[in-house]
Amino acid sequence: MLKVSYTLIASLLFLILNGTQPWRTETPKNYTTTTRIDSLRNASSWPEELSISNFSSADITPSPACIAVAPSGEVYVGVDKMGSLGKKPGNGSIVRLVDTNNDGKIDQHTTYALADNPRGILPIGDRVYVLHTVFSKETGIATGMNLVVFEDKNNDGVADGPSSLLIEHISSPKFLQSRGTDHATNGIRMGIDGWIYIAVGDFGFHNATDRSGKKMTMLGGGIVRVRPDGTEMEVYTHGMRNIYDVAIDPYMNIFARGNTNDGGGWNIRFSNQIQSGEYGYPVLFKHFTDEIIPALIDLGGGSGTGALFMDDATWPAKYNNVPMMADWGRSQLYIHRVTPDGASFTQKEEPFIKLAQITDIDIDASGRAYLSAWDGAGYSGNPKKGFVVRAVPKNWVYKPFADLKKASVSKLTAYLSSGSAVARLAAQQELLTRPTKKYSKAVWKLTTDKNKPLAARVAALFTYAQATGVEGIANLLKLTEDADLKEFALRALADRKGNLAPVPTEPFLNGLKDSSPRVRVAATVGLGRLGRTEVADALLQVAVPSTFAAPAIGTEGPHATPNSAIIPAHIAVRSLVSLNAVDACVKAIGTANSTIALWALRYMHDSKAANGLMAAYQRTNDESLKKQILTTLSRIYKKEADYDGSWWWSTRPDTHGPYYKAITWESSAAIKDFLVAEWQKSTDKQFYIDLNSRHRMEIPEFGKEEPVAVKEEVKVDLEKIRNKKGQVGEASIEDVMLAMAKFQGDAALGKTIFTQQGCIACHSLSKGEVMKGPFMGQIGSIMNREQIAESILKPNASISQGFSTVLITAKRNKSYMGFITEESATKVVLRDITGQVTTLKTSDIVSRKEMETSMMPSGLVNALSYEEFASLLTFLAQQK
C-alpha cells in the first residue's frame, strides 16, 4: 500500500504541473459512452463493448514508436529509446511478442531485429518490412532513412540475417542529424492494390533511391508508394506537414491525420488522400486554397500518430468500417465517421480509446487489436516508459487464423471474401507467391460474382491485376462496363506504369462522362498516368465549379472545409501538368475551357507557356480574361527552387506562398518586361501592386515588399538570444526542448521565476506549508529536467489514468473539482486547487468525469526567454 500511495502521489506531483495549453481543444460533445476501470493503469477510457487488457510493459517494450500485427497474431513493436529528438544510435529494435494460447498475455518475446528509430513495420508472410533511420558505423551520425525487409523463414522470432534494402535515403539526413526524426518519414501500410504506402513528414527527401535505381526527390511531406520488391517508387500525394501513418479502406480510400505548426498552433487536420492530389502545406494551404484539396476538418490542437482502417466483422458494427486515428498529443484514439460526398467524404470525429500518448494501432486476422503508447517516454525516449494493450470485443471468440502457406488455392480464394481486411490481404499476398495459372481462374470467378460483397470483388480484382499483369488487361477492360467495379478496373488498368502500353484510352475517356464522381476521378487520374497528350482536350472539358475562388488578398482560405466539388477539376489539372499539356492549355485560353487551362498553366514553367500567355493577352479584348492572364503570368514569373536537401522550412514556416524558396527562370525577364509595360499603360495600378504582393514577384516598379528569407539551418548564437523575452511562447515545443538541452540556467533565478510566474500560488515547496495543488518539494527526485520541461510545455500529453482533474457532481446539485487523493468503496477524498479537502460518500455522487485539461491557467511560461525557462527547470530539478 505504501508503494502504491507513493506512486500515486509522485505522479500527481508532476503531471499537473501546469495548465491547459492554447492548442488544446474541448472534448467533443458526442463522446461515446465509455467504461472507466481505475485498476487498469494503461488505459483510462474505452467503449463498454470492448475488453482492454495490459499486454506488455516498459520492461519489454519501452518507448514504442510503432506497432504491427501479423495476420496470425504475432505483434511487432518498434522500440525507440532514442525518441523523436535523440541522435545516438544503438537504442532501437523490433521486438516480437507472441500470445500462444490467446489469454491476452505474452508467452514469448524475442528481439526480432535491431533497427534505430523504427517508424514503420509491415509483416507480410515470412517477411517484415521496416522503415528506420540509418547511422554511419564510422561516425555514429544519421545518414538517412531506409525502407528494408527482413526475413524469418524458420519462424523462430529472429530475423534470419541482415535486412535487404528497398529504398535508401527516404528522409533528408541533414535534419535527422540536427533534429532527430520528429518530422521525418514515418508509417508504412499496404493497400489491397499491393502497394506499400509510406507517410512522409515534411523533412521530405532528396535522391531517394529504390531497388531498381530510380531516384526521386520530394520537397515537403505527403505519401509515397512502392512495390513490395522495392521498385516503381512514386509520389502518391503531396503537401502534407507531418503525417505519421495512413489508414486504407477496402476500396483504396486513404485517410491521414496530420498537423501543422504555422504560427497558429499545432492544429490537427483530417484528410482524404486522393491520388495525385496537392494538399498545399505550407505554401498554398492558406492563401491559395482554390488550388488545393482541402482537409475534411481542422480539429484544433493535437499530434497525429498511428492509423488503421478498422475492417473486421468480429467487431461491433458501430466501431467497424471506420478510420481510427491515434493522437499522441491528446492521448486519444479517435474514430472518424466518414460519409461519402461526391469523390470524397465528410466526417464526424468521436473519442474512442484513451491511452497515455498513444503511438499506433493494428489488428490481426482474428480480430485482436493492439495499441502502443509512449506513456511519457519523452522526446528523447525512456527505457522505463511505454506499453502495449490488447483490445477485443466483449462477445468476441478467438478463432485461430489458418497457416496460409499450407492452404489450398480454393481456401485462399475463399479468404478473399473474409470479413477481415487483414485476412483478405494476407490471402492475396500468399496467392501471389503461387504459380499464376493455378489460381487466376478462381480469382477471376470471384471478381465477376455479383452475389459476393463488393469488398471481396475488389480484393479479387486487384489480386487478378497483380497476378496477370499485361495478360489480364483484356479481362480488366470488360470490368469497365460493370457499374460496381468500373472505378476499380480503371484504377487497376493504369496502376503499373510498366504495363500501360497496351491499355487503350477509350475506357478512360468514357469514364470522364460517367455519372459517378468517383469513376470520373479514377478516369482522370488514369489519363494522367497513361502519358498521352492527345487526351488533354478531354481533360480541359472537366468543369470547374463555382467553389474555385481565391481568398481575398491577405486572408486565409477554407483549407479544412470539405469541397468535393473541386476534386474532379483539381485532379484534371494535376493530370494536365503530368502530361505537360502546354500547347493544349494555351490553345484553350479564351474558350469555354479557359479557366481550367489557366489553372493548369500556373504550374507550367515552360517558355511556350509564357509566350502563349502573352500572345493570348494581345489577342483578346475581354478585360476579365486579360486580368486572368496577367495573374497567371505573375504566378509563373518565379518558380520553386530545386530541392537539394540542404534546407528545410523549420517548424514555423512562412506560409504566404505560392513558393517557399522562389527563384527566377529563363522566361522571367520576358514576363517582367511584359508586366511592367502593361502596368505603365494601366490606370489600375493597385491590381499590379496586389499581384506583386500575392505572388511575391519583388518587381520594384510595383512596390517593394521585404521578402521573407528561407529559414536555413544555421548555427545559433546562444549568448545573443538567451535573454530574448517571449521566446518560449514563440517557438515550437520541439525547438524549446532542443534549446533546453543547451541552457543550464540559474537555480536562484528559477526560484524567483517560480514566484513571479504564479507557481507558488498553486504549488507548495515545503511539507510545512499548506498542501494546495501538487507538491513540488520532491519533483527533482521524480522527474529529470527534460521530463519537467515536457510536462510544463505539454502537460496533458502525459496525464496518466488516475491523475487527471476530476469533476464530481453530488446530490443537492453540488459540484467539486480537484484531485482524488483517497478512494474506497464508500468514500472519495478530493483536494481542490486551494488545498481544501472534501470527503464525499460514494452514495452521494451523481456523476464523476475526468477532465481533459488541467485546472491550472494556460501559457504560464510563454513570456519567458530560453534562459529564464532553463532557470525554472534547474530550480525545480533541484527540489529533492
For the ranges 110-124, 223-237, 648-662, 828-842, the lowest mean pLDDT is seen at: 828-842
- CA dihedral over 864, 865, 868, 874, signed as positive or negative: positive
Q: How confident is the model at residue 769 (pLDDT cuts 50, 70, 90)?
A: low
Distance in Å from the first CA to the final CA of the chain:
22
Mutual orientation of helices 623-635 and 594-601 as an angle, nearest 10°?
20
Mean pLDDT score across all residues of the chain: 87
| Per-residue pLDDT at 247 | 98
Q: What is the 3-class SS of 712-779, one letter each residue? A: CCCCCCHHHHCCCCCHHHHCCHHHHHHHHCCCCCCHHHHHHHHHHCCHHHCCCCCCCCCCCCCCCCCH
For the ranges 334-348, 501-515, 826-840, the lowest mean pLDDT is seen at: 826-840
Q: How confident is the model at residue 758 (pLDDT cuts 50, 70, 90)?
A: low
CA 113 from centroid of its chain's CA atoms? 26
Q: Dig out the grid coordinates for 124 from the structure.
A: 507480410
Average pLDDT of the segment spanning 121-149: 97
Query: 470490368: which residue's cell?
Result: 479
Average pLDDT of the segment spanning 686-707: 86
- Cα angle 434, 437, 440 (rounded to 5 degrees) comes to 90
Q: How confident is the model at residue 83 (pLDDT cuts 50, 70, 90)?
A: confident
- What percentage of the chain exceeds 90 in pLDDT? 68
Average pLDDT of the segment spanning 265-283: 91
The length of the chain in residues reads 880
| Per-residue pLDDT at 259 | 72
Q: Dig out the grid coordinates for 183 from the structure.
A: 518530422
d(CA 50, CA 371): 13
On the question of pLDDT at 633 being above 70, the answer is yes
Average pLDDT of the segment spanning 624-636: 98
* Type of residue numbered 334: Y
| Per-residue pLDDT at 156 | 95
On the question of pLDDT at 28 being above 50, the answer is no
| Per-residue pLDDT at 734 | 76
Query: How deeply is 420 buried, as exposed, middle or buried, from its count of CB atoms within 10 A (0-12, 13-18, 19+)?
Result: buried
Q: pLDDT tens digits for 593-629?
A: 999 999 999 999 999 999 999 999 999 999 999 999 9
The β-bridge relationship of strands 638-640 and 827-831 is unpaired
* Type of residue numbered 115: A
Contact between residue 514 and residue 524 where contact means Cβ atoms under 8 Å apart: no
- What percentage of the chain exceeds 70 in pLDDT? 86
Q: How confident is the model at residue 468 (pLDDT cuts 50, 70, 90)?
A: very high
| Per-residue pLDDT at 187 | 94
Q: pLDDT tens digits for 42-75?
A: 678 999 999 999 999 999 999 999 999 999 999 9
| Per-residue pLDDT at 864 | 85
Helix (H) or strand (E) holding 348: strand 344-355
Q: Which residues have a Cβ under 8 Å from the Cβ of 384 and sit 6 or more positions away? A: 58, 62
Q: pLDDT tens digits for 84-105?
A: 888 889 999 999 999 999 989 9
Bond from prior residue into 857 cis (ω within 30 degrees of 0): no
On the question of pLDDT at 137 being above 70, the answer is yes
d(CA 150, CA 122): 10
Of 18 and 243, the structure prediction assigns the larger pLDDT to 243
On the question of pLDDT at 115 being above 50, the answer is yes
Q: pLDDT tens digits for 557-572?
A: 999 999 999 999 999 9
Average pLDDT of the segment spanning 374-379: 83
Helix (H) or strand (E) holding 369: strand 369-373
Average pLDDT of the segment spanning 480-499: 98
| Per-residue pLDDT at 509 | 98
**What 8-state DSSP symbol labels residue 480?**
T
Average pLDDT of the segment spanning 254-258: 94
